Amino acid sequence: MTLDAKTIDLDSAAEIDADTTAESTTKPALKTEQILVGDYSWNVSRMGSASAVCVLLHGTGASSHSWLPLMEELAPHFTVVSFDLPGHANTRCNVKADLSLHGMAKAVNELLLALKLDTHIVIGHSAGAAIAAQLLLNTPDMFKRMVSINGALVPLGGLPGLIFPPVARISASFPLLTDLFSSRLRDPKAVDKLLMNTGSHISKASAKQYHALCNNSAHVNGALQMMASWRLESLYPRLASISTPVQLIAAEKDAMIPKKDAYRLNRVFQNSELTMLPNLGHLAHEEQPALVADIILKGDL
């Protein structure tokens, strides 16, 4: 798959309320740039100037926009770095992209090496947590701590595990099906339903950004390709070998990742701590960024 499409203007997609505008002068500055590393042109965002570095990895179908509220909370304590994953939003590739777990981890590692970051902590949301774990398996001393927010680290079980991967592969393999899926997501009601199915209630500004992403066929195709290439069966049995401290943050109303997975992971990792958030869903870090940041910062003491 060649990823070459128009830039998604997420800034203009966001709705800025009057009171938010009034507060904007007090918020940390966000610096965004395109950085060419290997075959990828990465869309990289940074905030803060502390010596400790925090890297954020978003989940399937999202983009670095989803981290902005949390970045603002963490920036006084870290230099916070986020970026669009390959196949997503404004990170592009001019060759056939490898959107498998191993391919993603390899590409992210190359980016971090190019940025010359001495990363203190990595935070992954959903599938981003799987990438973080794979990075640690490849290079055990790469991070001092890993944080998983509603991490998708446990393979799908039962009938969904048998049906979903083949369906995703078929959908991603046929341009007509991809086009039909993209066309469906141009319906605002379809996107609203997807967001509702996360169990989260996010701001209108963030919802508009997801609408902008879903209106870009290259982004939708990248998300489908990632889902079609994803395999957790080889990752999960190796999680127990990770000795790096792992902070698990899970939400009770997450409608996408069963909360039982969080308890299961807490038993699997050598050195982990689980915090369960009541009344929040899959996008908990967007719903309550200050709360999530406070939990992360306490874990850093």
Question: What is the arithmetic mean of pLDDT over 261-265?
Answer: 97
pLDDT, one tens digit per residue, over 12-45 is 444 333 344 344 457 899 999 999 998 899 999 9
Distance of CA 143 to the CA centre of its chain: 17
pLDDT for 218 equals: 87
What pTM did the predictor assign? 0.88
pLDDT, one tens digit per residue, over 191-229 is 999 999 999 999 999 999 999 998 888 898 888 888 888
**Domain boundaries in the chain?**
28-299
Distance of CA 118 to the CA centre of its chain: 20
| Separation between Cα atoms, residue 116 and residue 172, nearest integer Å | 34
Share of the chain above pLDDT 70, in %: 82
**99 within 8 A of 227, measured Cβ to Cβ:** no
Please tell me what DSSP assigns to residue 233: T
CATH fold of 28-299, please? Rossmann fold (3.40.50)
